[in-house]
Amino acid sequence: MELFRHGPAGSERPAVRHEGRDYDLTPLTADIDGPFLADDGIERIAEALAADTLPEIDTAGRRIGSPIARPPAVVCIGMNYAAHAAESGAAPPPYPIVFLKHPGCVVGPDDDVILPPNSAKTDWEVELAVVMKGTPRYLDDPSQALDYVAGYALSNDLSERAFQLEESGGQWSKGKCAETFNPLGPVLKPAAEVDPTKLRLRSWVNGEPRQDSSTADMVFSVAEIIHHLSHYMLLMPGDVISTGTPEGVALSGRFPYLKVGDVVTMEIDGLGRQEQVIVAY
């Protein structure tokens, strides 16, 4: 089962793909958002599919939006792959590095990415995104954490490295929050259907390989991240957690940064593929 949203930006409609067929979700919900996920939304979809009460639709040729309507928050974890920390010249962190992206960054998986004016160091980052369905509060143990997860999606955590590291005074979010800097999707896969500990992540720029790794290289697992965050912030249904990127980004010095006309492609096993063209503001 794959949840997705289709249609023009700002007017997307909720849908689900099951056994190769697409079904309209508007009989159940106006959108795929936090309140729907918190209200046993995924379980209700499964029941409706089993009962064959959802109308089948044709989404061929339709724009695909973010699989979740504008999230309340986008929480990101930095340096969460051992090899990526090494290529950045740092040791793996002793605890999760946390920063925020503005929810307005979130766009569809194949929407254009706008290069900020005066940007010289815009970078790509393939990441596993976690979408919450509940609010974990001061969890005692990571084993409790995954009960609060609705599902998983593919995310591109774009970063302007000069804004992030050279002009920020330590404020990473300054390099993370530009318009269109978080393509998300194409689908939200229910948590029960995904093992987040061993997913292959890959990215390409203009068809040339950049990243190829596995979530097995994470410093902190999804469960450990949620457990940690539950002690420092109020996570809400519909929030997105981006869990970090593996090695192979431009920050390493091995590859050039993005420029207008470049095409970024990325995928995660079981969560689909996305592709963006870099365009001028």
- pLDDT value at 215 more than 90: yes
User: Where do we find the tokens 């925020």?
Assistant: 100
Which stretch of DSSP H or E encloses residue 74?
A: strand 74-78
Residue range 46-54: mean pLDDT, rounded: 98
**Cβ(34)–Cβ(237) under 8 Å?**
yes
Rg (CA), the chain: 18
**Cβ(266)–Cβ(274) under 8 Å?**
yes
Question: SS3 of 71, please?
Answer: coil
Q: What number of residues does the chain have?
A: 281
| Calpha distance 119→175 (Å, rounded) | 10
User: What does the buried/exposed string (b/e) look like for 224-250 if buried means 16 or more CB atoms within 10 Å of the residue's CB?
Assistant: bbbbbbbeeeebebbbbbbbbbbbbbb
- pLDDT value at 67 more than 80: yes
| Calpha distance 250→90 (Å, rounded) | 16
Query: How much is the pLDDT for 172?
Result: 87
Say which residues have a Cβ less than 8 Å from residue 95's Cβ, sequence separation at least 6: 228
pLDDT digits (tens, 9 = 90+) for 164-203: 989 867 788 899 999 999 999 999 999 999 999 999 999 9
**Cβ(50)–Cβ(42) under 8 Å?**
no
Query: How much is the pLDDT for 148?
Result: 98
Which spans in 122-268 are helix H?
161, 222-229
